Amino acid sequence: MTSFLPLISELLPMILPSSIHVVRAKDLQPKHPTVEGPVLQRQALVGKCGMCATAVLTIRPHSESAIRHNSEQDAIVFLVSGSGVFLVQGGQKDGAQRNELTQGDLVFVPSWTEHQLVNETDDDVVWLLIQSGSRPVGADLTDWGGDEVFTRK
């Protein structure tokens, strides 16, 4: 019986109907941009796939995300529009290595890596965040190497 289990997992997707899930850009736009603050994160595809979760992060002009890590999940960060700065723990005197990014650039972020997204421009910067789990996990930190102040589970 156990020898059939791998075969069943390969056959089920062919037998059972599957469906796509479409997320419209208009549904990810800020509802009240002046009220919601300088950093807006909208969950796009969460719990739809066992291997990844996505979110859209909009950072207003001259603002930055919290310093954060994604716990045990690897992540890919894609710069959709604008120009931004990706800071990562280590490598500099101030505790962060600076990476200037432009539209279309990608960053691979290994699990537990402390990082921060920064917008130093006069326009919004939009990022696509892809984490390696069906639901995003991680924590916001007080500073580089600091205490966790908010945990995403």
Q: What is the CATH number of the domain that holds 61?
A: 2.60.120.10
> 81 near 121, Cβ under 8 Å?
no
Is there a domain that residue 5 lies in?
Answer: no
The two structure tokens encoding residue 98: 């600076």
pLDDT, tens digit (0-9, with 9 covering 90-100), for 37-79: 777 767 766 666 778 888 889 999 999 999 999 999 999 999 9
Number of domains in the chain: 1
Is there a domain that residue 18 lies in?
Answer: no
In terms of residue numbers, what domain contains 35?
Answer: 24-152
> 143 near 69, Cβ under 8 Å?
no
Is there a domain that residue 16 lies in?
Answer: no
pLDDT, tens digit (0-9, with 9 covering 90-100), for 78-118: 999 999 999 998 755 566 899 999 999 999 999 999 999 99
Is there a domain that residue 28 lies in?
Answer: yes
Backbone phi and psi for residue 80, each to the nearest 5 degrees, phi listed first: -75, -50
- How would you write 1-22 as a 3-class SS string? CHHHHHHHHHHHHHHCCCCCCC
